[in-house]
Structure formats: C-alpha cells, structure tokens
Amino acid sequence: MANNNSEIPSVSSKISPKDHVAHLLFHLHLGRERLQVVPGLYALGTPTAGSPVIVTTNNMIKFDALRSALIGLDIYFLVLDTQGRDNWFMTGKSAFATDELIRRVKKSGLKDIVNHNKLILPELAESSFNDQLVNERCNFNLEYGPERAYDLPEYLETRQLTPEMQMVRYNLWERVGLIPTEFFNFLIPIALAFAFVYILGGLLPALATAVAIVAGILLFPLVLPWLPYKDFSTKGFTLGLLVTLPFSLAIVCRNPFEWISIITAIVLLIFLPPVTAFISLNFTGSTAFNKHSKIKEELVTYIPIHMILFGAGILMMLAIRIIIL
C-alpha cells in the first residue's frame, strides 16, 4: 500500500499474528536474513510536510516495536541498512553510519517531502554519527530523542528529554531476550568442541568445555550486573573460572595422586575461561554499558590474551594426549 500523497510505502502500527511468528523465527535464528526491513522511507498514518522523521535500523524487531508504540501518530520512518542489527553500537562513529544516513536521505528525496531539517534518532546513537558531516552534505540536523520506543509519543509532543527517558536499564527481561539467538548460533560449535575435547581428554574435560561455552551464552547475560569488574572480557573470564573450577576439582579428586589429572585440571583453568570471556564479548553491542571506542579498546586489549591462553591450553592438552599414548 502506498502513501496517498507521495507514493511512500505505508506501514501500520498494528502488529499482526504473522509479525509475531516472524519475531519468534528471528529469535530462533531461523531465516534471519529474510527478517529485515527494506531500507528506505516509510509513512505511518498520513504524515504531512511538517511531520517528524524518525531514523531507525532495518532490524524487524526494532522497527515493529517503534511503529507499534506510535499508534495514532503521523510519522515518517527513515530506515537505514544496518544489516539487520538492532543497535547502533556495532556501526560506530564511522563512515558506515554517517554515509548510510546521508545516502538514504538523498535517495528518498526527503528534502522535497518535508519542510523542516530535523532527523530524530535515539540518544544512544549519538556516538555513531558525525552530525556536522550530515548537516554539510544533506542539510539535515540530528536530534537525539529517547532510546525506548514507548517514550516517543511524549517526546514528540514536548521535544524534551526527561531523566526517565535518558535512563537505560538493560533489565533482566531484555538480557534474556538475547539468549535464544546466541544459543542457536553456538549449537554446532558446542557439539564440535565437546567431541574434540572428549577425544583429547575424556568426559569430564568435554563436559567442562560445553559448560564453559553455555555459561557464556546463557549465564553471562543473566548475571552480568553482579559479575565483578567493568570490562566484559574480565567479567566473562571470571564466570569461566567459576564454572570450570568444579570440573577441575572433580578431576583432581578422582585421581588425586596422578600428575596427569592435576595437569589436566590446570589446563582446563587455562583455556576454558578465555572461551567464556570471548563469547561474552558478543553482548557488548547489545548494551549501553560501553561506547564504541571502549568496545574497540577492549577487543584489541583482551582478544590476543584470550588467543594465547586458549592456544597454550590446547597445546598442553595435545601434549598430555601424546604422552598418554
């Protein structure tokens, strides 16, 4: 269906049963590449030249949450191609985010559709765009509104960001919502890792490996606020130590006087916590805890350490296997 005034595709604020099914498939990681909104300009209701323009990602879940929160309002949506991501943090303050916005503004002919030069984005997107460059290249100014969609109606009426609107909670339910996608991403790696470590070290090390991976996927987002330290890598490493330690103790207690058991227990504590820590980094782009620059700094700092510890642990396990044979 097209908008009557300008042939702009129209969307409804109603979420249909088909949409709910699509959301479920998205969270189950089934056909996610098909569950993206086509980038471009959309109309909600019957917007006029003076109607606000809200910039959003092409993630279907994000877009549907946005349109369903604006019942009865007349809005333009400018959907950017973020490759289906539901956040701005992974784009960073780079040519990608800024150039994509400028490209969509020009391609949609937005300057000929509205009689103002304001583009509204969530406040947390501020670090991802070069405001000055956007203004210079397409004569639009960026206005940063609330992050949560349900705060937009009040904001659009007052154009004032309240302290409540600016507060980012990242509560338990939001963290739980990240788990299904991550879990389905790691099903095959979990099986392969279990089989590989089982061949090298037996059942307990294999179980410890599977638990360390699952801890990074399932436990980390649940216990995130209570883990010590600020960096996600350190939080993940701590969690990895906590879930690996019982398996190491079990291996030692099973054969307390065998040096191979002691070394195997130590090896698990060397190479499994980095696995949990590495997986935990998947959640950096889904939170407001870190800015893009901080995320990049953490990746550069900790990933080499993870790789060294993991590689050393695997080599030690191979050496133990060779000695046993």
Three-state secondary structure along the chain?
A: CECCCCCCEEECCCCCHHHHHHHHHHHCCCCHHHCECCCEEEEECCCCCCCCEEEECCEHHHHHHHHHCCCCCCEEEEECCCCCCCCCCCCCCCHHHHHHHHHHHHHHCHHHCCCCCEEEEEHHHHHHCCHHHHHHHHCCEEEEECCCHHHHHHHHHHCCCCHHHHCCCCCHHHHHCCHHHHHHHCHHHHHHHHHHHHHHHCHHHHHHHHHHHHHHHHHHHHHHHHCCCCCHHHHHHHHHHHHHHHHHHHHHHHCCCCHHHHHHHHHHHHHHHHHHHHHHHHHHHHCCCCCHHHHHHHHHHHHHHHHHHHHHHHHHHHHHHHHHC
What pLDDT does 6 receive?
A: 55
What pLDDT does 3 receive?
A: 44
- Structural domain including 253 reads 175-324
Which comes out higher in pLDDT, residue 35 or 193?
A: 193
CATH number, domain with residue 131? 3.40.50.11600
| 76-84 mean pLDDT | 89
Per-residue pLDDT band at 93 (split at 50, 70, 90):
very low
Q: Is the Cβ–Cβ distance between 269 and 241 less than 8 Å?
A: yes
Residue 48 located in a structural domain: yes
Instruction: Evaluate if residue 193 carries a pLDDT over 50.
Output: yes
Neighbouring CB atoms inside 10 A of 14's CB total 9
What pLDDT does 111 receive?
A: 92
Q: CA-CA-CA-CA torsion for 175, 234, 214, 205, nearest 10 degrees?
A: -170
Domain final residue pick, 168, 193, 214: 168
Instruction: Evaluate if residue 200 carries a pLDDT over 70.
Output: yes
Based on the fold, state whether residues 163 and 222 are members of the same structural domain. no
Q: Is the Cβ–Cβ distance between 69 and 15 less than 8 Å?
A: no
Instruction: Evaluate if residue 290 carries a pLDDT over 60.
Output: no
Based on the fold, state whether residues 235 and 87 are members of the same structural domain. no
What pLDDT does 91 receive?
A: 47
Based on the fold, state whether residues 37 and 112 are members of the same structural domain. yes
pTM of the model as a whole: 0.67
Return the minimum-mean-pLDDT range out of 5-9, 15-19, 194-198, 236-240: 5-9
Three-state secondary structure along 245-281?
A: HHHHHHHHHHCCCCHHHHHHHHHHHHHHHHHHHHHHH
Which comes out higher in pLDDT, residue 160 or 290?
A: 160
In this structure, what token pair is assigned to residue 189? 């790696």
Based on the fold, state whether residues 130 and 193 are members of the same structural domain. no
| 287-308 mean pLDDT | 73
What pLDDT does 73 receive?
A: 94
Residue 263 located in a structural domain: yes
Based on the fold, state whether residues 18 and 68 are members of the same structural domain. yes
| 288-301 mean pLDDT | 67
Based on the fold, state whether residues 108 and 192 are members of the same structural domain. no
Residue 3 located in a structural domain: no
Based on the fold, state whether residues 42 and 164 are members of the same structural domain. yes
Instruction: Evaluate if residue 87 carries a pLDDT over 70.
Output: no
For 80, what's the count of Cα atoms within 13 Å in the CB-facing half-sphere? 26
Residue 5 located in a structural domain: no
Instruction: Evaluate if residue 134 carries a pLDDT over 50.
Output: yes
Per-residue pLDDT band at 195 (split at 50, 70, 90):
very high
Q: Into how many domains does the chain fold?
A: 2
Domain final residue pick, 168, 185, 216: 168
Per-residue pLDDT band at 197 (split at 50, 70, 90):
very high
Based on the fold, state whether residues 164 and 17 are members of the same structural domain. yes
Return the minimum-mean-pLDDT range out of 23-37, 140-154, 293-307: 23-37
Residue 205 located in a structural domain: yes
Residue 4 located in a structural domain: no
| 274-289 per-position pLDDT tens digit | 999 999 887 765 555 5
Based on the fold, state whether residues 164 and 180 are members of the same structural domain. no
Residue 2 located in a structural domain: no
Based on the fold, state whether residues 191 and 133 are members of the same structural domain. no
Domain final residue pick, 111, 145, 168: 168
Based on the fold, state whether residues 34 and 111 are members of the same structural domain. yes
Instruction: Evaluate if residue 85 carries a pLDDT over 90.
Output: no
Distance, in Å, from the CA atom of 152 to the CA atom of 160, rounded to the nearest integer, reads: 10
Residue 147 located in a structural domain: yes
What pLDDT does 135 receive?
A: 92
Based on the fold, state whether residues 185 and 317 are members of the same structural domain. yes
Percent of the residues in the chain that have a pLDDT greater than 90, as a whole number: 48
